[in-house]
Structures are given as structure tokens and as C-alpha cells.
Chain A
Amino acid sequence: MMALPFVIFAAATGCALAGRRGLALGAWGIGLALTLFLFRHHATDALPLAF
């Protein structure tokens, strides 16, 4: 699961190389959304801060 964003961004870069702009944009959007979802999953502990 954690490897998936890299696979998607590599595919997006490959699409850019191949001149497929729409596919690259779509893959990038999916990859970024997945990255943020994984961040939400891992950002569970409270920060040790007091103001």
C-alpha cells in the first residue's frame, strides 16, 4: 500500500515522457490523494506540544 504512491507517480512521469498529459494529470491527482490518505492514517498520535 505504501509503495503505491511511488508506482503511481512513476506512471505519471512515464505518461509525461510519452506525451499523455491527461493521463499524467489524472495519475498525479490519484497519487496525491492516496498520499494524503496515508498521511491521515499515520498521523494518529497527539503532538507533544503545549502553548
Chain B
Amino acid sequence: MTRSLSVVLNACGLLALTAVLAVAFGYQFALGELPCPLCLLQRAAFAAAGVGLALNVCLGPRPSHYAMTILSAVAGAGVAARQVLLHITPGSGSYGSPFLGIHFYSWALMLFVAIVVGSAAMLLADRQFAAEGPGTPAAPALGKGAVALFLFLVAANGISTFAECGGGMCPDNPTEYQLLSR
């Protein structure tokens, strides 16, 4: 795999993470469902995983960038697994509306595992780490656009989380945007 192809694939991965954040955001506003603290932490872990991909896109692929993505996904999987386990026994209920029949925390667990597997598979391609000739752009326009879109979604999540929780910790079952209700 060439360095250029790797950058394009990383940009596609970043767009996929942006789509995940956008869908969660859409549900939050379309259905008026406020994300719980664990939901917010899963979103944060998706954002963390995207930083490694953004570095691959902007500065070229490096094993350490993939390591950042894998470590972030493992942290996110831990949070998602806890939320799945909170609701796994019959009668323990659920949180939020399902998306395509599956709750968001279950989707998140599957996606974090997919991120780990995908990043490990990308690490198998050694040629992407070889330097290409001078003048080879690390990030094509598509890549920088993907990074900018991802940055916008992460910042928007920060603003919405601040509106929901204020400067402190979020309640376990949030019912209103704390900042807007004052």
C-alpha cells in the first residue's frame, strides 16, 4: 500500500467517524434525547480515535498515529461495554432510542472493535511508512476537508455538551440543557 492510498483510506475512516458523530448529534436534536455521561464519553473516545487518523492524513502515516487510534478505541470500547453490561440483563431497561434496531452503546462497542481491527490491518502495510519523493503532499484537499469537517463536529459536540452539563459533571439521566434552563 502506497503512502498516498493510506492517506486516502485514513481520510475515509475520518469521514466515517464524522458520520458517527453526526448521526448521534442528529438523534440528540431530532428526537430531543439528551446523551447520558457514558454516551458523551463514547463520543469523546470517537473524537480521540479521530485525532490519530487526522495526524495520518495531515502529516503522513506513522505507527504511533495508529497506536493513538487503537488506544482511544480500546478506551471507548471499555466505556461502551460497561453501558452494554448495565442493560444486558432482562428488565434492566435501556437508554435512548435504538438505531436500526440496536442501541447506540451496542453500535459503539461494535464500531470501537472495528476501529481496532481496521487500524491493526492498516499497520500490516509497511510500504505506507516509506518516505515518498519530495513534493508529495501529505494531505490532499479531500483529506484536509475531512479533517476540517471532523474538527467542526468535535467542536460542536463540545458546545452542546457544555450547554447540557455546564461546567460540572452531567447528571446520570439528564433531562434538560442545564445552561439553557437558568
Contact = CB atoms under 8 A, between A and B. Distances in A.
Interface in A1-51: 1-3, 5-7, 9-10, 12-14, 16-17, 19, 21, 24-25, 27-28, 31-32, 35-36, 38-39, 41-43, 45, 47-49
Nearest to A45: B86
Interface size class of B (residues with CB under 8 A): 35 or more
Contacts of A39: 38, 41, 75, 78-79, 82
B58 A17 contact: yes
Contacts, number: 124
Contact of A21 (B59, B82, B88, B157): B59
A47 B170 CA distance: 20
- Main secondary structure, interface of A, reads helix
- Main secondary structure, interface of B, reads helix
Nearest to B89: A48
A13 B151 contact: yes
A13 B155 CA distance: 10
B72 interface: yes
Interface string B20-64: 000000000000000001101101110110111011011100001
Interface of B: 37-38, 40-41, 43-45, 47-48, 50-52, 54-55, 57-59, 64, 68, 71-72, 75, 78-79, 82, 85-86, 88-89, 92, 144, 147-148, 150-151, 154-155, 157-159, 161-162, 164-165, 167-170, 172
